[in-house]
Amino acid sequence: MSRMRHSRCTGPMTRHYTPIKTNDKNIKEMYNFEFKNPVKLIFGKGTIARIAEEIPARSKVMLTFGGGSVKRNGVYEQVMKALAGRDVVEFWGIEPNPKYETLVEAISLARREGVDFLLAVGGGSVIDGTKFIAAAIPYEGEAWDIITRHDAVTKAVPLATVLTLPATGSEMNNGAVISRRSTHEKFPFHSDLVYPRFSVLDPCVTFSLPKKMVAAGLADTFVHVMEQYMTYPVDARVMDRWAEGLLQTVMEISPAAMSDEPDYDTMANFMLCATMGLNGFIAMGVPQDWATHMIGHELTALHEITHGVTLAIVLPQLLRVMRDDKHDKLLQYAERVLGITDGDDESRIDDAIRRTEEYFHSLGIATRLSDYGVGQNTVDEIVRRFTERGAVWGERNDVTPDKVRMILEKAL
Amino acid sequence: MSRMRHSRCTGPMTRHYTPIKTNDKNIKEMYNFEFKNPVKLIFGKGTIARIAEEIPARSKVMLTFGGGSVKRNGVYEQVMKALAGRDVVEFWGIEPNPKYETLVEAISLARREGVDFLLAVGGGSVIDGTKFIAAAIPYEGEAWDIITRHDAVTKAVPLATVLTLPATGSEMNNGAVISRRSTHEKFPFHSDLVYPRFSVLDPCVTFSLPKKMVAAGLADTFVHVMEQYMTYPVDARVMDRWAEGLLQTVMEISPAAMSDEPDYDTMANFMLCATMGLNGFIAMGVPQDWATHMIGHELTALHEITHGVTLAIVLPQLLRVMRDDKHDKLLQYAERVLGITDGDDESRIDDAIRRTEEYFHSLGIATRLSDYGVGQNTVDEIVRRFTERGAVWGERNDVTPDKVRMILEKAL
């Protein structure tokens, strides 16, 4: 099950060559790493029109969409205007936590139409789903192999994105998370072949987002950064400062982003934080956790709770359960990100975790499982799944099924 | 002379689409931008051996070197071991501030030998020179056109680097600065075709660097970041935090980097700062200055003063002359990077500039022109050149020849 040990963010984007030793608290040096991210960002006001020059003129383009919000906020119109006269086909209905059952329909359509370029117009779910479609179109076996077989993806149709929801970072990485309705499962896959050729980020498209989605996007961004930061110190000073800069920025802009009329700069900073939070830029040479994500994926798979919300539920309790492992970084976070300098070590850590949870509450996100009607049965099922898969997570691989139980029971 | 308005760092790596309006102090919003950086970083201990798998097996490789320090510190041996059995040719003698007259010899050799891959083994000068060679090999006219003609580079031989001196950032960008001995000139050029395919950064190779080179590299890194940060605010919160994080890190590690036996983490952080300081990562959506660089290039062109040292001479006086333009950012820098919070605005700015100059002194770098035997004649010549070229610099294009005179006369 070694494949399952890789979250969406520890894939080929930033490979570490020095193995992370379980339970070795004495590691101090930065890890060796490899970094490459070929995605072209096109950022700013009025940039959607730029897709015309970026997509090869003679391509047969499949546009992929979610549920239709892009028709209400003008994004669809801008895309179609830019592609006027081009040979395009549309696929609608990629849902939140994109489902395999839906994506196979898109794959059939693309094959039938001879599509050779994909443009995802939407948030992380549409983009993730489109990455799967891109890899599946030329794949000859059962498309689900892409999730379960490490070596399945050997070619892919080129894809690009027009981002409408800052959150997942999928617009600038090589990962995707795909769900299967029939089995209530949700798994990540990675391939360097599914990096978007380009991603258009126009902050203006975010003005019409419902507050619940802004909140989930902020929480998602915050936790992405935490998964790469809140581990143990390896004296990676640049990465620490950059992660702290993203956490500070996300917290600073949150009140304005959640207001009735967010300004351009707020949403531009939000969009940049979301993309920079999961594009490998802050992952160089540092240990990573991803236990919060893997537990969160199960909550979504079983109960369709929004991804960012699941992270806000899990993270505070994970920090409580793993506080000894994360002791030094929790203190650094308390001081540098939250400005907590009073009290002894343990009380500063208490404060830092409490304020992290309060931050999620400030976004209007409830952080108890009972708030979502989730109880002990779900805890038992998730622990059963982790035990069956032999999956352990965390920067020291010590978030065992027992720890998962403790984390989730604290969140009940 | 619009070509001359682009420094090495404002080229295609991060294009801004919203024009920077001269003298408009009211700009607040982040600029539109385009970002793409395709360089693969291979970072850490023992990574030089990795070149074997990264360079295509059947390539005819030209290795380019400086003066021979790589033979004393073991880098040459590691490179040759990795490439054992390959078809390689060596070119030695690319000097600091690489000279056109030297590079044309390398171009002839490469053409004669049918070279189709270049591996630069050295610091920024070797890498910059190799970028020029890469673009010149297939160029049919006079190679100097690459510097003077905007459209000269339409193809280039692929190149990669093994970095030995953290400083210029050339290992992860598309720019180079080339000097001409015959005319005592030094000019930048850019092309997306000269991005290294990969760059190997092994911090261990820096342990044998002379302190003077470490000092110049730290100063170079510091000023690269300042050129992209110390302008006027556009509410680009992520970029500001990241630039500040680099400045803080460079200052924090400097004492250890300048010690007799620097440790691995210190030099790993130094190497990462240098690369991240000029790869476009902190340039997204923000105004840029580059006046310090353009003035510094003239000091090098006329007197062969080390690049990083020229920047340490120019920057403090530029900050004094342009302090009103940079008022808001100087205050932000004073507080966030230097921790200066006492006193009124003007005294905090005074302190910040004084401490910036003291930082260069702490590296053993003298910051007066007279320390290098440079006097009024050189000031007059540089002002004459700027006037003749019609070149203006600075984030508002208001570093006019008059201002250049004020800056340099303050440094006498």
CA-wise closest residue to A353 among A370, A372, A336, A338: A338
Instruction: Report pLDDT for B71.
Output: 95
Residue B1 lies in a domain: no
Pairwise CA distance, residues A116 & B362, whole Å: 58
Percent of chain A's residues with pLDDT above 90: 89
Residues B53 and B164 in one domain: yes
φ, ψ of residue A87 in degrees (nearest 5) = -85, 100
Region class of B394: left (phi > 0), else alpha (psi between -120 and 50), else beta: left
Please indicate whether, in this complex, the C-beta atoms of B32 and A17 are within 8 angstroms of each other.
Answer: no
Which pair of tokens denotes residue B186?
């030094």
Domain end (from A162, A189, A206): A206
pLDDT of residue B31: 93
Q: Which of these three, B206, B241, B265, is where a domain ends?
A: B206
Q: What are phi and psi of B20, to 5 degrees?
A: -85, 115
Task: Give the number of other CB atoms < 10 A from CB of residue A341.
Answer: 8
Chain A hits for B38, CB-CB cut-off 8 Å, are 36, 38
Closest-CA residue of B relative to A273 is B238
Alpha helices in A345-410 (DSSP H): 345-362, 376-389, 401-410
Which residues in chain B have Cβ-Cβ distances shorter than 8 Å to A47? 17, 32
Residue B121, SS3? Answer: strand
Q: Is the Cβ–Cβ distance between A229 and A243 less than 8 Å?
A: yes
Assess B39–A contact: CB distance below 8 Å, yes or no: yes
Show the DSSP H helices in A63-210 as ranges.
69-72, 75-82, 100-113, 124-136, 145-148
Closest CA to B27 of B273, B310, B329, B386: B329
User: At A301, which helix (H) or strand (E)?
Assistant: helix A291-303
Residue-level pLDDT at B10: 36
Same domain flag for A11 and A93: no
**What does the pLDDT read at residue B150?**
81
- Read off the tokens for B126: 């070797």
A68 and A133 together in one domain: yes
Q: Is the dihedral of CA B281, B282, B285, B290 positive or negative?
A: negative
Q: What is the pLDDT of residue A161?
A: 98
CA A15 to chain B, closest CA, distance in angstroms equals 10
Residue A2: what pLDDT?
Answer: 31
Q: Is B238 on the interface with A (CB under 8 A)?
A: yes
Hey, is the C-beta of B19 within 8 angstroms of any chain A C-beta?
A: no
- For residue B34, the model assigns a pLDDT of 96
pLDDT range class, residue A3, cuts 50, 70, 90: very low
Q: Are residues B221 and B126 in the same domain?
A: no
Burial class (CB within 10 angstroms; exposed 0-12, middle 13-18, buried 19+) of B109: middle
B195 and B47, same domain (yes or no) = yes
CB atoms within 10 A of CB B248: 18
Q: What is the CATH number of the domain that holds B131?
A: 3.40.50.1970
Q: Considering the domain boundaries, does residue B14 fall inside one?
A: no
Q: Which of B176, B206, B236 is the last residue of a domain?
A: B206
Tokens 């210190």 identify what position?
B266
Phi, psi (deg, nearest 5) at residue A223: -75, -35
Q: How confident is the model at residue A11 (pLDDT cuts 50, 70, 90)?
A: very low
Kindly state whether A283 is in contact with chain B, defined as any CB-CB distance less than 8 angstroms.
no
Tell me: the pLDDT tens digits for A28-65?
A: 789 999 999 999 999 999 999 999 999 999 999 999 99
Tens digits of per-residue pLDDT, A330-363? 999 999 999 999 999 999 999 999 999 999 999 9
Query: Is the pLDDT higher at A16 or at A176?
Result: A176
Contact A299, A311 (CB under 8 A): no
The lowest-confidence range among A5-9, A186-190, B355-359 is: A5-9
- Any alpha helices (H) in A178-236, and if so which ranges? 211-229
A250 exposed, middle or buried (CB, 10 Å; 0-12, 13-18, 19+)? buried
Q: At what angle do helices A327-336 and A237-257 cross, to 10 degrees?
A: 50
Say yes or no to pLDDT of A24 above 80: no
* Residue whose entry in the numeric block shows the structure tokens 């020059």: A53
Answer yes or no: do B121 and B136 share one domain: yes
Which residues 286-325 of A are in CB contact (within 8 Å) with B? none
Do residues A194 and A230 share a domain? no
Q: What is the pLDDT of residue A12?
A: 39
Same domain, B116 and B256: no
Backbone angles phi, psi at A370, to 5 degrees: -65, -25
Closest CB from B37, B38, B245 relative to A238: B245
Query: Same domain for A328 and A359?
Result: yes
Cα B228 to the chain's mean position, in Å? Answer: 12
Q: How confident is the model at residue A1 (pLDDT cuts 50, 70, 90)?
A: very low
CA distance A393 to B20: 47
Do residues A54 and A137 both lie within one domain?
Answer: yes
Q: Note whether B202 and B330 are same-domain residues.
A: no
Sites in chain B below the pLDDT cut of 70: 1-27
pLDDT value of position A390: 87
Residue A392 belongs to domain spanning: 2-33+210-410
Task: Look at residue B27 in the predicted model and tell me its pLDDT.
Answer: 58
Q: Indicate which of A40, A241, A279, A284 best probes the interface with B, i.e. most B CBs within 10 Å of its own CB.
A: A241
Q: Say if CB B175 and CB B188 are below 8 A apart.
A: yes
Are both B307 and B182 inside the same structural domain?
Answer: no
The answer to whether position B265 is within a domain reads: yes
Assigned domain for B5 exists: no
CA distance B94 to B68: 10
- B368 within domain boundaries: yes
Per-residue pLDDT of A224-269, as tens digits, reads: 999 999 999 999 999 999 999 999 999 999 999 999 999 999 999 9
B195: left (phi over 0), alpha (psi -120 to 50) or beta: beta
In a domain, residue B28? The reply is: no
The CATH number of the domain holding residue A404 is 1.20.1090.10
* DSSP 8-state secondary structure symbol assigned to residue B266: H
Whether B29 is covered by a domain: the verdict is: no
Task: Report yes or no on B278 lying in a domain.
Answer: yes
Q: Which helix (H) or strand (E) holds A272?
A: helix A264-276
* Overall number of domains in chain A: 2
